Amino acid sequence: MLRHIGYYIISILLLMGCSQNNTTAKNENTKKANDLINESSPYLLQHAYNPVAWKAWNDESLQLAKEQNKLIIISVGYSACHWCHVMEEESFENDSIAKLMNANFINIKVDREERPDVDQVYMNAVQLMTGGGGWPLNCITLPDGRPVFGGTYFTKAQWTKILKDVSQLYKDNPEKMIAYAEKLTEGVKNSDLIIVNDEPVEFDAISLSAAVDELKKSLDFKRGGQKGEPKFPMPGHLDFLLRYSFQTDREELKAYVLTTLDKMANGGIYDQIGGGFSRYSVDERWHIPHFEKMLYDNAQLVSVYSKVYQLTNNKGYKKIIEETLGFIDKELSAEEGAFFSSLDADSKNSEEELEEGAFYIWTENELRSLLENDYELFKAYYNINTIGKWEKANYVLYKTLSDEEFIADHQLSLSDLESKRYDWKQKLFKARNKRNKPRLDDKVLTSWNALMLKGYVDAYKAIGNENYLIKAIANAKFIKKNQLKDDGSLYHSYKDGKSTVDGFSEDYAHTITAFLDLYQVTLNEQWLQDAKQLMDYTIKHFLNDETQMFYFTSDYASNLITRKTEVFDNVISSSNSVLAECLFKLGHYYADKAYSELANQMLKNVNEGMLKTPFGYTNWLSLYLSHSNPYFEVAISGTEALDKLKELKALYIPNILISGATTESDLPLLKNKFNQDETLIYVCVNGTCKLPVNTVNKAVGQILK
């Protein structure tokens, strides 16, 4: 019903007649800064010299709207967003449009990465009104923040008309807008309503298998990823399906995961010269990317490629891991051990104009000049032809043959190809670095940093490169030093030496996960204790006692129209699914029934939706798998525990939880197990252990028998 009402209002506004303004050219010498000049977010600072009188999201801006009885424009985007830049250039830098906005609205710019809580609320409202969403997100609200109109990108003409019609409607018939806002706000509040499941639930393998079969319907087994276009990597899907295929011998699912990873690694979504992945591809071949590079994508994909490398020992996956982490090291790493957020899709071309993908694309003439005699071979390898062509005379490098197929077709040895490829990349990397680089969003987000921390841990487990562990520990120390407050809470953002914005449930969820993983490769119990303390804080300040799910914002949050509950797994797994998994693990580590029962209740709450529409619940399904299939605790106790751990961690065994100590430990899984003379490995289920063994091979035999 709300969606139909929303369509009606939007249709009326767009049909009331189009009045298009001519732009007034900006005078660069007379531009004045708006309030965003005082912010630290790179995205907000990009808008600091717009003629729109932008304000940041804060209590003062919201109070001003009430005092002046003005509608609010809440415009949400992020630094690497191409269409955000387009709307800025077309509308927000237009003096005539700015005059309309400033006269009739309080204008608030929001960085969705810095304030995901604000983005969630108004994205939800736009989805209810229009059936879709995206960025830039533009929502018009009453002075008290209740939404009345919204959408994503609007052309200059559309936006001008919307500004006039909405402001006029508010002057002429405010009661109508208020009545609609009341209904829409109620819809926003109820859209993620959790129904507590008090009935007993049997988490069984048959039900899970049926859910996986339902999930299969959305998968593209030929090209990888989900069916159709655009294609997003969806690392959570791949992680679950890899684990499920391993534990249930579903070879077709394993093949699907490998196909997806191979197609991505060969496609334009992967930077064939500098390493690292773009956010998604606009086509179904993984060829043409939306060129922004996000920390969270690369962090999670490093984890997935690392696990597949553990399983297959395929050196091609190792190369992707190393090149992607090389990109992170060169482009997204800060000195203090932190990681920056993203690189923009746009950069300045040779005419000094911002252009999407300008940094990454090539012309045939450029390649001929740089590669000389090797050009024809390069052309065949990366499809400098109709297959690899993008638009105009530009190409995005794209592989369609495996290295084995290519060397067979061109009478090369593998070592010859590797040598040539290295030489090609060096030449093109050097040439590309002379171009204008994409803009860097150098804010540091706790949740995304925790994902990268986990990525480095997973890469260390798979490859054994000690430098990866060093980087993981450095990042964990950064989080503790800069983002963890004395009261046990976390900050969300960090920029220029200053920590800001109270943390959200996603920050706690991913940091707890990362610390648990760091404990499992170091056996340093401090990381385990830190994870427990963060969980206890999260339960105290984020848990909804009625639903037994976690709000996205803490009980200290005050200026939103509602507290949202994040449940659906998307490109990043939902905070609730990650927290449920953490509770499950902490319940095992500390033999704590309260943790285990809460995790169990959370899984029960989503059980019906998860089994019916599994696409949005893949991380929940991983927790379901831990309940319905064998799950083991592995305790290593003795002076040589770290040596045995080193051997064990290199193996892909996703259904184990590792604990260990080189001395006595009071952890329930380790208590009274230390033997000074012999290091023993205990394989346990819910605290009940099999006979201890003294080799990793024997322990693995007890798990995989």
Rounded mean pLDDT, 349-377: 94
Rounded mean pLDDT, 392-396: 95
Q: Does residue 11 carry a pLDDT above 60?
A: no
Cis peptide before 147 (omega within 30 of 0): no
483-494 as b/e: b if 16+ CB within 10 A: bbeeeebbbbbb
Coarse DSSP helix, strand, coil percentages of the chain, rounded to the nearest 5 percent: 50, 15, 35
Look at residue 12 in the predicted model and tell me its pLDDT: 37
Look at residue 4 in the predicted model and tell me its pLDDT: 37
Q: Is the dihedral of CA 388, 389, 391, 396 positive or negative?
A: positive
Q: Does residue 26 carry a pLDDT above 70?
A: no
3-state secondary structure labels for all residues of 68-106? HCCEEEEEEECCCCHHHHHHHHHHHCCHHHHHHHHHHEE
Beta strands in 559-613 (DSSP E): none
Rounded mean pLDDT, 533-553: 97
- What letter represents residue 494's amino acid? Y
Look at residue 81 in the predicted model and tell me its pLDDT: 87
- Strand 280-281 relative to strand 289-290, pairing: antiparallel
Q: At what angle do helices 618-628 and 235-248 cross, to 10 degrees?
A: 20
What is the CA 369 to chain-centroid distance, rounded?
Answer: 38
Q: Which residues pair with 326 in a beta bridge?
A: none
Beta strands in 503-584 (DSSP E): 543-544, 549-550
Q: Is the dihedral of CA 35, 41, 42, 43 positive or negative?
A: negative
Q: By three-state DSSP, how is residue 682 classified?
A: strand
Rounded mean pLDDT, 686-699: 95
Look at residue 22 in the predicted model and tell me its pLDDT: 33
Look at residue 65 in the predicted model and tell me its pLDDT: 96
The alpha-carbon radius of gyration of the chain (Å, integer) is 26
For residue range 315-349, what is the model confidence (pLDDT) as tens digits? Answer: 999 999 999 999 999 999 998 999 999 999 999 99
Q: What value does the mean pLDDT of the chain take?
A: 93
Distance (Å, whole) CA 584 – CA 200: 18
DSSP string, 612-654: HSGGG-HHHHHHHHHHHS--EEEEEESTTHHHHHHHHHTS--T
Distance (Å, whole) CA 336 – CA 314: 33
Distance (Å, whole) CA 56 – CA 44: 8
Rounded mean pLDDT, 267-279: 97
pLDDT band at residue 471 using 50, 70 and 90 as cut-offs: very high
Report residue 265 as tokens: 């690694």
For residue range 482-539, what is the model confidence (pLDDT) as tens digits? Answer: 999 999 999 999 999 999 999 999 999 999 999 999 999 999 999 999 999 999 999 9
Report residue 470 as tokens: 């060093």
pLDDT band at residue 634 using 50, 70 and 90 as cut-offs: very high
Most confident of 168-172, 196-200, 508-512: 508-512
User: For the chain, what is the largest distance between any 2 Cα atoms, rounded to a whole number of angstroms?
Assistant: 86
pTM, entire model: 0.93
Phi and psi at residue 195, to the nearest 5°: -95, 120
For residue range 556-585, what is the model confidence (pLDDT) as tens digits? Answer: 988 899 999 999 999 999 999 999 999 999
Distance (Å, whole) CA 587 – CA 593: 6
pLDDT band at residue 30 using 50, 70 and 90 as cut-offs: low
For residue range 107-117, what is the model confidence (pLDDT) as tens digits? Answer: 999 999 999 99
Look at residue 250 in the predicted model and tell me its pLDDT: 97
Lowest mean pLDDT among 17-26, 88-97, 119-128, 397-406: 17-26
Cβ atoms 346, 356 nearer than 8 A: yes
Give me the residue label for tokens 């579903």.
250
What is the CA 423 to chain-centroid distance, rounded?
Answer: 33
For residue range 636-663, what is the model confidence (pLDDT) as tens digits? Answer: 999 999 999 999 999 999 999 999 999 9
Distance (Å, whole) CA 552 – CA 192: 11
Q: Does residue 16 carry a pLDDT above 80?
A: no
